Amino acid sequence: MQALEYEQKENLSIYRIKVPLHKSGMLDQILTFRSYYFNVKKLTLRKKYDLVFVSSSRLFTAYLGYQIAKRQRIPLYLDIRDIFVDTIEDVIKSKIKRMVLMPILNKIERNVFNYASHINLISEGFTPYFSRYKKSNLSFYSNGIDKLFLGQNVDENDDILPKSNLDSYVITYAGNIGEGQGLEKIIPESARLLGDKFQFLVIGDGGAREKLIAEIERLDLKNIVVKPPTNRINLIRTYKESHFLFLHLNDYKAFKKVLPSKVFELGAFDKPIIAGVSGFAYEFIKRNLSNVILFAPGDVNNMVSQLLNFSYKTQSRQEFIKRFRRENINRELAKSIISYI
């Protein structure tokens, strides 16, 4: 069902801005944000606010909120999901592009974060980076588990798992297929070494999808199926029918600080999790989740070795679920936001 462009729910007004379709490539994202940026500026031009709240994994979403807040001289509350400048420095390989872009991005970042009254960090791994912004209060309300993933009562008539080789273990990845995930560096070679006993199901789209498919074709692999994005009901069904749930981040310096929201989504299920992460995410998973295969990003041999020696079992994670229910985290976050009005 298509969402409405405008909804009014008591004292809550919701505006949804239609943006061009894109596949998560850099140029696509720039054009998409450009459309979003100008539409938001137009919508907010003659309105008066008490506070601006921005949830941002991209610096320019935070910058948009900063412009509105500064123009009206009101508090800015930022919810930061990623360190954009760090990530861009890793992703852009050209030294010339970095020399041109980084001073501009650093200046924008300083302006935004120095103005903010409060900065919430979804990962405590971000703390050293943000400690330089002394004027802002910091908090650590993390991602959480959506209510939809807690009931998990779905119609199981539809089978979307691969039909071939039903005796094999199915390893499912669902999400963005971009440079940040680096799936082409880990899934095809792992599938080759594991053989027919294991089958990978990849659900999603993104800027690196073609790289992944090209590597699958180069190795002539039959035990990897790539499917387009699906809705959450189908996703839950797929997770329940899979044997392992997969998560991987590319080996970038910036990703040593992040805590992917996917950790909470997968942690709501009783299936073993295979996670190729480093830094804070590695320590968080090790500390909070059981029944996990952990390995360094891109380390095919270590992942395959652990998987072949893994004693398969499912295990409920009730303590994790209780601690990281999104509704509980959101309640505390809302109290923090209201305190600035």
Per-residue pLDDT tens over the stretch 109-118: 999 999 999 9
If asked whether residues 137 and 197 sit together in one domain, one would say no
If asked whether residues 175 and 79 sit together in one domain, one would say no
pLDDT at 163: 47
Residue 40 lies in a domain: no
If asked whether residues 115 and 136 sit together in one domain, one would say yes
Identify residue 307 by its one-letter amino acid code. Answer: L
Residue 33 lies in a domain: no
Does 58 score more than 70 pLDDT?
yes
Q: Which domain holds residue 96?
A: 48-144+326-338
If asked whether residues 199 and 275 sit together in one domain, one would say yes
pLDDT at 155: 47
Residue 193 lies in a domain: yes
Q: For residue 332, what are the contacts with CB-CB under 8 A and spacing of at least 6?
A: 141
If asked whether residues 334 and 248 sit together in one domain, one would say no
If asked whether residues 61 and 101 sit together in one domain, one would say yes
State pLDDT tens for residues 121-178. Answer: 999 999 999 999 988 999 999 999 988 888 664 444 444 455 444 578 999 999 999 9
Smallest Cα–Cα separation from 39: which of 6, 82, 73, 76?
A: 6
Residue 26 lies in a domain: no
Angle between helices 187-194 and 300-308 (to 10 degrees): 40
Helix, strand or coil for residue 54? strand
Per the structure, the count of domains in the chain is 2
- Contact call for residues 144 and 138 (beta carbons, < 8 A): no
If asked whether residues 103 and 154 sit together in one domain, one would say no
* Angle, CA of 79, 118 and 52, to the nearest 5°: 70
pLDDT at 47: 94
Lowest-pLDDT range, 26-40, 158-172, 273-287? 158-172
The two structure tokens encoding residue 201: 């199901």
Helix, strand or coil for residue 12? strand
Residue 27 lies in a domain: no
If asked whether residues 171 and 245 sit together in one domain, one would say yes
Q: What global pTM score does this model have?
A: 0.80
Collect contacts of 207-213 with beta carbons under 8 A, ≥24 apart: 207/23, 207/24, 207/25, 207/26, 207/28, 207/177, 207/178, 207/179, 208/177, 208/178, 208/179, 208/181, 208/182, 208/183, 208/184, 209/23, 209/177, 211/184, 212/177, 212/183, 212/184, 212/187, 212/188
If asked whether residues 140 and 190 sit together in one domain, one would say no
The CATH number that applies at residue 86 is 3.40.50.2000
Smallest Cα–Cα separation from 32: which of 60, 62, 3, 65?
A: 60
Residue 159 lies in a domain: yes
Does 304 score more than 70 pLDDT?
yes
What distance in Å separates the CA atoms of residue 80 and residue 147, rounded to the nearest whole number?
22
State pLDDT tens for residues 248-270. Answer: 999 988 899 999 999 999 999 99
If asked whether residues 182 and 67 sit together in one domain, one would say no
* Angle, CA of 122, 123 and 127, to the nearest 5°: 115
If asked whether residues 140 and 168 sit together in one domain, one would say no
Backbone angles phi, psi at 39, to 5 degrees: -70, -40
The average pLDDT across 334-341 equals 96
